[in-house]
């Protein structure tokens, strides 16, 4: 298993590596400084860990000046702070899948668990003995855990994940452990404890959880230089995947969200990448849509707000939107009369929170360091840890049974052979102990281990009433029962993997009906946003006031999408590309406005000094909101046309001895160049009029030679 290590000291640089590529760091800063902060936690370096030597640097006067005591103090303190935030606050641990505040909350509930509901405020107060932060952070974390269903059962108003409603104050709500958490998360005999932040109590390093909590609950956290986002998964599916791992079979595990909805995982790769989630909506009639489920990461409030925002921007035509959500989500959207329902559904997915993209990046704490892993790696580790914990529990159970068997055998020997009679003549307590010890050692062959001083004390505490009522047959039956249980434990220890599989199957049988998959798997077709909104905005020109935009009254010019870019050309040859404006002053010198197409062929005729030029060109690439010019400085633009005409009709101002007074040019025969091209010379005559259509004053009987521009091709 290959993991990626992170060093918070590199937070000013790019610290994210490609998947399964290690990041090299020098002198073991993260481990060294973290160990200094958390030495009470007995932090040890991983096996085969050898810090690489720091490169030698030449001691220059400037270096000595920059490496002063204040700089060293800041660097050391920042590294300690970074290590603390990463390990002890923001990033969950792979061992039990919990952040420190969550672990302390669960331990507080365990310590106070009597099966009854407890005031959340009481748990928060108790947890503050372990957690060195304010009560608000603890209460918020507890409510979040309760809303994830698996570990904490709440009573009262714990808020609503779907609507975004907050919970009531912690003094008004109650909670307790769920049976799942009570049975599968705790075992004090297998828990390693350390002193709390003030040294007054003990808290667990990690909980001996037998559940894959990290993937069940999901997690989000932002630390110094890195962040994590682990999506929640379906609990029964995780159990099935663990069974497949133990059986050495292939498995696939995908996220599942409490919000429900539909999910496309085509861009999701074993915990990395992203998933797309969509709302589930149904058609009530030809003009009404009902949203029944919403995407993960949204609430009914934010979704409705996004729909209203899209309607204001004219991306979707709706008449009204109503929220009838109670126990289940019901958002009613009434469409405008001229709205197409199929197109409206696509617009809802394209422009509102009815479709959301959720990125996933798995960073977690493993061996006291942040590492990057995949979902499969985490689940395999959890499964390996499960077998280890089950093995430890079986060993504990074996020890308990052996101790119980030993105790019952001792009591039977003590009573059956009347060893208690020997203590009548003993004058000191030491002689009493020795008499009992010698007496039971005469029957050592019936015992599985040596008799200890504690065993002797136990026998001396046996009451006379119990001796007189001792039932040898009943004791033998109980002993036989213990032997059967012991034999069962021995068999489970000998075949640990089948035992783990049976354990997982029992969990799956119990909880699968309670936690069905809520998110449907689907593949979403790509929505052509530009085509969907190609007639979204109608641009008008107010010639009287000189304004252009889609939020004004005036002459209609064109329709476009809000995703289009608009190009505007003025009479001096200046042009600019910009996002569609609501209202823009363009004065009466504007000659062209349209959606921008960098490859569209344009025609320009301009006069520079005494020479008139003609060029066909395309604008090419531009920077938004930057002024450009399509003709040279001080030149005069005579004609600008985007229709790429086949003919130009030119009439010249009459001059003495001038033989040609009009000409027809053929622009289509000119090659298309870039916008900076000068173009080809048309004439040095003074042009009176130029148009793409034959003017009324055109003299059809006069000689009209072909434009001389052709001579330059």
Residues designated catalytic: 172
707 vs 275: CA distance, rounded Å: 62
Please name the residue that has the structure tokens 């409510």: 143
Q: β-strand 574-578 against 628-629: which pairing, if any?
A: antiparallel
In angstroms, what CA-CA distances link 60 with 27, 65, 71, 72?
22, 9, 16, 17
Q: Are 650 and 704 in contact (CB under 8 A)?
A: no
Q: What's the length of the chain?
A: 713
* CB half-sphere exposure, 106, CA atoms < 13 A: 31
Query: 685 φ, ψ to 5°?
Result: -70, 155
Q: Are strands 672-674 and 611-618 parallel, antiparallel or unpaired?
A: parallel
Q: How far apart are CA 102 and CA 93, in angstroms?
A: 11
Q: Whole-angstrom Cα distance, residue 353 to residue 627?
A: 36
174-to-39, 102, 152, 156, 183 alpha-carbon distances in Å: 36, 17, 10, 7, 20
Map residue 397 onto helix, strand or coil: helix
Axis-axis angle for helices 429-441, 453-460 (nearest 10): 100
Answer left, alpha or beta for residue 644, where phi above 0 means left and psi between -120 and 50 means alpha.
left
- DSSP class of residue 446 equals G
Residue from 414, 453, 413, 412 nearest 434 by CA = 453
If we measure between CA atoms, which residue out of 15, 188, 170 comes closest to residue 86? 15
Tokens of 676: 């900076």
Centre a 10 Å sphere on the Cβ of residue 290 and count the other Cβ atoms it contains.
Answer: 16
3-state percent breakdown (helix, strand, coil) of the chain, nearest 5: 35, 20, 40
Asked if 475 and 409 touch (Cβ cutoff 8 Å), the reply is no
Question: In this structure, how many other beta carbons lie within 10 angstroms of the beta carbon of residue 675?
Answer: 19
Rounded distance, CA 637 to CA 122, Å? 81
118 close to 153: Cβ distance less than 8 angstroms: no
Helix (H, G, I), strand (E, B) or coil at 685: coil
CA distance linking residue 189 with residue 703, whole number of Å:
111
- Asked if residue 640 lies in contact with residue 569, where contact means CB atoms within 8 angstroms, the answer is yes
What is d(CA 209, CA 464) in angstroms, rounded to the nearest whole number?
A: 44
Residue 375 contacts residue 362 (beta carbons within 8 Å): yes
Helix (H, G, I), strand (E, B) or coil at 447: coil
Beta-carbon contacts of residue 362 (< 8 Å; ≥ 6 apart) = 228, 229, 230, 271, 272, 372, 373, 374, 375, 378
CB burial readout 159-169, b (16+ within 10 A) else e: bebbeeeebee
DSSP SS3 for 687 = strand
Report the C-alpha gap between 91 and 228 in whole angstroms.
7
Q: 228 forms bridges with which residues in the sheet?
A: 221
CA atoms of 612 and 606, how far apart (whole Å): 6
């Amino acid at each position: 298993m290959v993991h990626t290590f992170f060093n918070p000291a590199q937070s000013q640089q790019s610290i994210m590596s490609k998947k399964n590529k290690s990041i090299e760091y020098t002198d073991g800063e993260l481990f060294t400084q973290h160990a200094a902060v958390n030495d009470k936690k007995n932090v040890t370096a991983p096996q085969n860990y050898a810090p690489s030597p720091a490169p030698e640097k030449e001691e220059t006067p400037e270096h000595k000046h920059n490496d002063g005591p204040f700089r060293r103090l800041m660097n050391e303190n920042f590294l300690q702070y970074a290590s603390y935030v990463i390990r002890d606050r923001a990033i969950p641990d792979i061992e039990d899948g919990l952040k420190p505040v969550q672990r302390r909350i669960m331990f507080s509930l365990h310590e106070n668990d009597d099966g009854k509901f407890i005031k959340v405020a009481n748990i928060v107060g108790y947890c503050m003995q372990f957690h060195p932060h304010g009560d608000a952070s603890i209460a918020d974390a507890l409510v979040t855990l309760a809303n994830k269903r698996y570990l904490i059962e709440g009573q009262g108003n714990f808020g609503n994940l779907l609507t975004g409603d907050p919970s009531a104050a912690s003094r008004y709500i109650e909670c307790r452990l769920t049976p799942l958490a009570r049975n599968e998360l705790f075992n004090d005999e297998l828990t390693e404890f350390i002193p709390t932040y003030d040294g007054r109590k003990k808290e667990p390093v990690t909980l001996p959880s037998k559940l894959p909590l990290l993937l069940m609950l999901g997690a989000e956290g932002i630390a110094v230089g890195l962040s994590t986002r682990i999506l929640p998964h379906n609990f029964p599916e995780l159990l099935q995947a663990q069974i497949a791992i133990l059986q050495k079979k292939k498995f696939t595990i995908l996220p599942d969200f409490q919000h429900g909805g539909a999910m496309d995982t085509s861009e999701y790769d074993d915990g990395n990448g992203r998933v797309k989630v969509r709302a589930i909506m149904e058609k009530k009639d030809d003009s009404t849509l009902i949203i029944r489920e919403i995407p993960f990461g949204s609430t009914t409030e934010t979704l409705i707000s996004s729909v209203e925002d899209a309607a204001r921007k004219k991306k979707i035509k709706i008449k009204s939107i109503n929220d009838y959500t109670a126990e289940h989500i019901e958002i009613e959207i009434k469409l405008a009369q001229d709205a197409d329902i199929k197109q409206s559904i696509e617009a809802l997915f394209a422009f509102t929170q009815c479709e959301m993209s959720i990125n996933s990046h798995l960073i977690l704490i493993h061996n006291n360091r942040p590492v990057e892993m995949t979902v499969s790696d985490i689940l395999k580790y959890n499964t390996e840890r499960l077998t280890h914990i089950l093995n430890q529990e079986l060993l504990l159970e074996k020890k308990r049974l052996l101790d119980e068997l030993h105790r019952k055998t001792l009591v039977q020997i003590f009573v059956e052979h009347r060893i208690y009679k020997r203590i009548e003549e003993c004058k000191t307590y030491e002689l009493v102990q020795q008499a009992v010890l010698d007496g039971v050692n005469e029957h050592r062959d019936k015992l599985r281990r040596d008799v200890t001083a504690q065993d002797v004390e136990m026998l001396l505490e046996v009451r006379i009433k119990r001796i007189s009522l001792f039932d040898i047959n009943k004791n033998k039956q109980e002993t036989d029962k213990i032997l059967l249980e012991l034999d069962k434990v021995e068999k489970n220890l000998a075949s640990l993997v089948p035992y783990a599989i049976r354990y997982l199957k029992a969990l799956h049988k119990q909880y699968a009906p309670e936690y069905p998959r809520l998110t449907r798997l689907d593949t979403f077709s790509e929505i052509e946003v530009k085509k969907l909104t190609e007639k979204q905005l109608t641009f008008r020109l107010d010639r009287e006031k000189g304004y252009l935009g889609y939020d004004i009254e005036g002459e209609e010019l064109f329709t476009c999408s809000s995703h289009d870019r608009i190009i505007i050309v003025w009479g001096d040859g200046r042009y600019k590309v910009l996002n569609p404006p609501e209202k823009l002053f363009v004065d009466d010198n504007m000659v062209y406005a349209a959606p921008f197409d960098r490859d569209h062929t344009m025609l320009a005729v301009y006069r520079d000094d005494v020479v008139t030029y003609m060029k066909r060109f395309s604008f090419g690439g531009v920077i938004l909101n930057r002024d450009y010019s399509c003709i040279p400085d001080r030149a005069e633009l005579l004609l600008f046309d985007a229709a790429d005409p086949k003919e130009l009709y030119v009439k010249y101002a009459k001059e003495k001895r001038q033989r040609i007074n009009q000409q027809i040019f053929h622009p289509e025969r000119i090659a298309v160049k870039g916008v900076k091209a000068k173009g080809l010379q048309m004439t040095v005559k003074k042009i009176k009029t130029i148009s793409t259509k034959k003017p009324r004053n055109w003299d059809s009987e006069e000689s009209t030679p072909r434009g001389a521009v052709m001579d330059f091709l």
